[in-house]
Structure 1
Amino acid sequence: MSHVHVREFASSDVDGVLELYLSEDTWFEDIGVSKEYILECSRRQDFKFIVAEEENRLIGFIGFLFFTNVGRCEVGPIVVSRKKRNEGVGRLLVSEALKFLAGKGMKRAVVRIKAANPSATSFFMKCGFAFEAYLRHYTSQGEDVVQLVIYFPVT
Structure 2
Amino acid sequence: MNVEISTPTTSPAALVQRLSATPRGARLARRLTGTTLATWGHPLDGDFSQSAQLVVAELAANAVTHGRVPGRDFELRLRLLPAQDTLRIEVSDARGDRALRFPDGRPEDERGRGLVIVRALAKLGGVSERDVGKTVWAELPLDSRQPAGGSRAPEPEG
Same topology, TM > 0.5: no
* Structure with a larger share of its residues in strand: 1
Give the TM-score normalised by the residue count of structure 1.
0.31
